[in-house]
Amino acid sequence: MRSLQSVRSLRSVGSLQAARRPVSWRTLGTGLVVFALAATLLALLVPVYLFGSAGPAAAGARTSWTDDGEGTRQTPSGPLTALDRDFVRRVRMAGLWEKPAGKLARERGTTDAVHMAGDHLVDGHTELDQRSVDTARSLGVSLPERPSAEQQGWLDQLQDSRGAVFDRAFANLVRAAHGKVFGLVALVRDRTGNAAVRALATRANTVVLDHITVLENTGLVDFPHTGDNEKK
């Protein structure tokens, strides 16, 4: 009798283990699926957290510009937005201090590379200044007549410098300014629906890149530009 009970007990234990085994494998399988889903979600979220969205809104957030509050209006060359108007004004403002800076480089530079950079700045901003004036006139955009207080401060710094100190200040101040505006040129070239503004941005892209190149060729630019003192 006792043997029969033992056999029955063994059978009960075996049946219980057999019943538990499928549940255990199902639990494990469910856990693996949940883990895989969590890993996939993490892989999607980490790049967004670290680097931000790659969409147009993120690009605009990294490039500052001023909204004049006048909205979008129609012109013969297409819609004119606040971004478009700000860009035309900034091209004008850049020339108001960078062209005099180029003239100082022609006069005070101690190396041929600094002289060359000065020549390129004067020539390039003479052209862009006229283009910005013509574009503004055709679109009815008001333009500044003097550089901002900050830009005048950079120009004053150059005017107070001599020799090698001037060379390095010139290369770094103007290179940082061009690096900043380069992002705005790209943003406008990508977004504008106005043919006149697009033409200005296309030409500005070529001129600004040329200026960045000749400034870097002086061998005096301190890299990297971290944005601690962003030039506009």
The tens digit of pLDDT for each residue in 28-84 reads 555 554 555 454 444 434 333 333 333 333 333 357 889 999 999 999 999 999 999
Phi, psi of 35 (to 5 degrees): -60, -45
CA 96 to CA 9: how far, in whole Å?
Answer: 98
Cis peptide before 224 (omega within 30 of 0): yes
pLDDT of 42 reads 44
Distance between CA atoms of residues 191 and 15, nearest Å: 71
CA distance 208 to 90: 13
Residue 223 — pLDDT band, cuts 50, 70, 90? confident
pLDDT at 33: 47
- Provide the residue type at 21 as one letter: R
- pLDDT band per the 50, 70, 90 thresholds, residue 224: confident
Nearest by Cα to 201 from 78, 23, 73, 103: 78
Q: Round the average pLDDT of the chain to a whole number and report it.
A: 81
What is d(CA 192, CA 201) in angstroms, rounded to the nearest whole number?
Answer: 9
* CA separation for the pair 22, 40 (Å, rounded): 27
Q: Is 163 left (phi over 0), alpha (psi -120 to 50) or beta?
A: left
Instruction: Give pLDDT, residue 59.
Output: 35
pLDDT of residue 231: 43
- The set of residues, in sequence order, having a beta carbon less than 8 Å from that of 67 and lying 6+ positions away, is 82, 83, 86
Segment 130-187, tens digit of pLDDT: 999 999 999 999 999 999 999 999 999 999 999 999 999 999 999 999 998 999 999 9
What contacts 70, CB < 8 A, 6 or more positions away? Answer: 82, 85
pLDDT of residue 31: 55
Question: Contact at 8 Å (CB) between 77 and 139?
Answer: yes
**196-204: average pLDDT:** 98
pLDDT reported for residue 94? 96
